[in-house]
Amino acid sequence: MSAIPIPLPAEEPGPGDKIVYQPYYLRDVQDWAIQHERAAHTQALYNFGEWAMFALMWHIQDLQAGLVGRCSRCYGTSDSKQREVSLVYQQPTQNRCPVCYGTTFEGGYKALIVRPTIFSDTDESEQLQSRGVVHPSDLDVESTPDFRVRSGDYVFRTSGDRFQLRVPQRVTLRTGFAHPHQTTAAIGYNHARASLEDPNVSVAYLIPPPTVTLLSLLSTAGRTPPDFTSYEVVRGPLVPAGDD
């Protein structure tokens, strides 16, 4: 018994043939289409967005990849009591640690980068939760596809507000038969939900730069995009290696 591909329109198979509905060729990836859509998305960000700073925090995946170690202040040395307590409870020994910012990883953040960003509109509400009356403010955030957001990262806005990000989503353009990598097919990767952090209790406001410096930086005016390189900090890959 032979397996034969069936073209479209399908021909009548012979007796005993195994039918395999398979085309004669695989479509090539249309790189020009991806570049065109990326250019349109980027243009929208620069036309209707605003500057925002993203604080990409260290995560357990980075520890497993050998990119970062545990916090020297929260976890201490390998034979310290702090390390034993942290390992038992799987959390830092300090809630607002100025070294790891609650991540339990040395330095806290992997990168501080400035990107054009579009925020959705929202108004504060009032809710009664376990910690008392809070005023949650959730909105949607969209930015460029050249970095990866994970739940627990932060974005700092021109208004001085700082938001924690969660539920990031990927938007890719599939133009051919191939795996849609972020670096080759992403149009607008960083779509995420953002929750406003309380400046009185959140560790987000301990992350540099200070609010006054942040406002001055993100409020930079001009008809051409400024260079923020000297203000950015990059300690690791913006897109995880092997998952790009």
More confident residue, 32 or 152: 152
Which residues neighbour 74 within 8 Å (Cβ) at sequence distance 6 or greater?
82, 86, 92, 93, 94, 97, 99, 100, 104
Separation between Cα atoms, residue 41 and residue 53, nearest integer Å = 19
Q: Which of 66, 84, 64 is nearest to 74 (CA)?
A: 84
- pLDDT tens string 15-45: 666 656 667 778 888 888 888 888 888 888 8
Residue 51 vs residues 44, 79, 157, 167: alpha-carbon distances, Å: 13, 44, 7, 21
Given pLDDT bands bounded at 50, 70 and 90, which one contains residue 189? Answer: low
pLDDT (average), residues 76-92: 63
Position 210 pLDDT exceeds 70? yes
pLDDT score, position 169: 72
pLDDT score, position 218: 93
Q: Which of 114, 119, 113 is nearest to 48 (CA)?
A: 119
